[in-house]
Amino acid sequence: MRSSKAFLTTTGAVAAIAAGVAFGSASAAAETIRIGDINSYTRLPAHTVPYRQGAILAIEEFNRSGGVLGRQLEFISHDDQGKPGEAVKVAERLFARDEVVLISGSLFSHVGLALTAYAKKSKRLYIAAEPLADALVWAQGNRYTFRLRPSTYMQAAMLAAEVAKVEKAKRWATIAPNYAYGKDAVAAFQRVLTELRPDVEFVGSQWPALFKIDAGAEVEALKRLEPDAIYNVTFGGDLAKFAREGKLRGLFEGRLMVGLLTGEPEYLDPLKDEAPEGWLVTGYPWYDIETPEHKVFVAAYQQRWDDYPRIGSVVGYNTMLAIKAMLERAGSTDTEKMVDAMEGLSFDAPTGPITFRAIDHQATMGAYVGWTALRDGKGVMVDWKYLDGVGYLPSDDEVRKLRGGQ
């Protein structure tokens, strides 16, 4: 029940902020800098609420230490219902009615892409926090859009680079949800691994419908392929069902298992003692990160929310850090000046230094790669390392080509 209580407090806080805006006078608007936040709070609360909590924590810290450019920050948060059209409408409302200086947030790729197109058209700044779609900064990239979290390609490339070292894994099978993210994640992994290891062979792919997996049948189909290794992109409830059926039916025995995002607390924790062991995953081992910056962040987060941070929390926190650093560098809330300040912006985050690349507006925030294990009846990551995102991006020439000369 603890998490639901924390959730209540958050929604309460946000409602209060939103109410303040609705009845606030015009003079107050001149004093505070307003940041518009759009995310899928009703569609995927398990992921988006930690994001909002991380962001609010950062905003409160800034305001206690005197704000930014001598002004207080205000965080105005709205729900996009997981619909791209709705998100565009909310963006227009935030800019027109709430007079925010920029928008940030979103989790779903299609919502992020809709906002990317909107940012380009309206020439307003959009800082995508969590959407993973590669197109966001490449094929659809534009001057007004930036992205913080390591993309599908980057995380898949990290895993591919790690497993390329495993000699015996030659026959690969993949299982991924049947939509753009799953397809991209498999394509990127296949591409990078084939480049590093021309001798590997991909023997088959399974594409369960998102959140409608028939795990028993999928596991049997994978077994029939007789792979040495399996690359998993399923997540959420699908992952739980896949992990359970796979264990029961002996799919994982003697095979190298690799999971994209599987190590994130959002996905690993609900599995409790059934969390898969010995998978190579990307994730967020917040419990074992010993750097001082990160320990401070975890302590502050736990004190504020009476809950532990998820990957969304740290992304939300980092996004606000980026916005603060950008505002200080721009010295203004003029959109063009803010965009100029975002390009090449460097700042220090709890997870390490991050730079927004000028070439494609992708941040170099990295990911934690490690092996899953059970500790005290809970899934954790062990033997992990932090891989900086900068090493897992295509060459500059290729990026320019992908961006189509924008």
Residues 37-66 contacting another protein, CB under 8 A: 41-42, 45-46, 49
Smallest separation (angstroms) from another protein to the CB of 153 = 12
Out of 53, 57, 78, 381, name the contact with another protein by CB under 8 A: 78
30 binds another protein (CB under 8 A): no
Contact predicate 359/369, CB 8 Å: no
> 111 or 298: whose CB is closer to another protein?
111
12 or 391: CB nearest another protein: 12
Q: Kindly tell me which residue out of 24, 228, 237, 343 binds another protein, with binding defined by CB under 8 A.
A: 237
Identify the CA nearest to 365 among candidates 61, 59, 204, 137.
137
Minimal distance, residue 292 CB to another protein, in Å: 29
* Nearest approach, Cβ of residue 77 and another protein (Å): 9
Q: Helix, strand, or coil here: 378?
A: strand
For another protein, the binding residues in 102-121 under the rule CB under 8 A are: 109-110, 113-114, 116-118, 120-121
Cβ proximity to another protein: between 84 and 366 the closer is 84
Which CB atom, from 206 or from 232, has the smaller least distance to another protein? Answer: 206
- How distant is the alpha carbon of residue 17 from its chain centre? 25
Q: Which stretch binds another protein (CB under 8 A): 238-246, 294-302, 314-322, 334-342?
A: 238-246
In angstroms, rounded to a whole number, what is the distance separating the alpha carbons of residues 370 and 366? 13
> Is position 15 an interface residue for another protein (rule: CB under 8 A)?
yes
Residues in the interface with another protein (CB under 8 A) total 79
- 379 contacts 283 by C-beta, under 8 angstroms: no
Question: Is the separation of the CB atoms in 106 and 130 below 8 Å?
Answer: yes
Query: Which segment (30-38, 220-228, 323-331, 358-366) binds another protein by CB under 8 A?
Result: 220-228
Query: Tokens in use for 264?
Result: 């994130």
Nearer CB in complex with another protein: 331/404? 404
Residue 170 burial class via C-beta count within 10 angstroms: exposed 0-12, middle 13-18, buried 19 and up: middle
Structure-token pair, residue 374? 């059970």
149 binds another protein (CB under 8 A): no
3 state SS of 389: helix
* Out of 208, 312, 370, 389, the residue judged to bind another protein by CB under 8 A: 208
Give which of 253, 254, 242, 288 is closest to 381, Cα–Cα.
288
Q: How many Å apart are CA 201 and CA 190, to the nearest integer?
A: 9
Which amino acid type is present at position 127? I
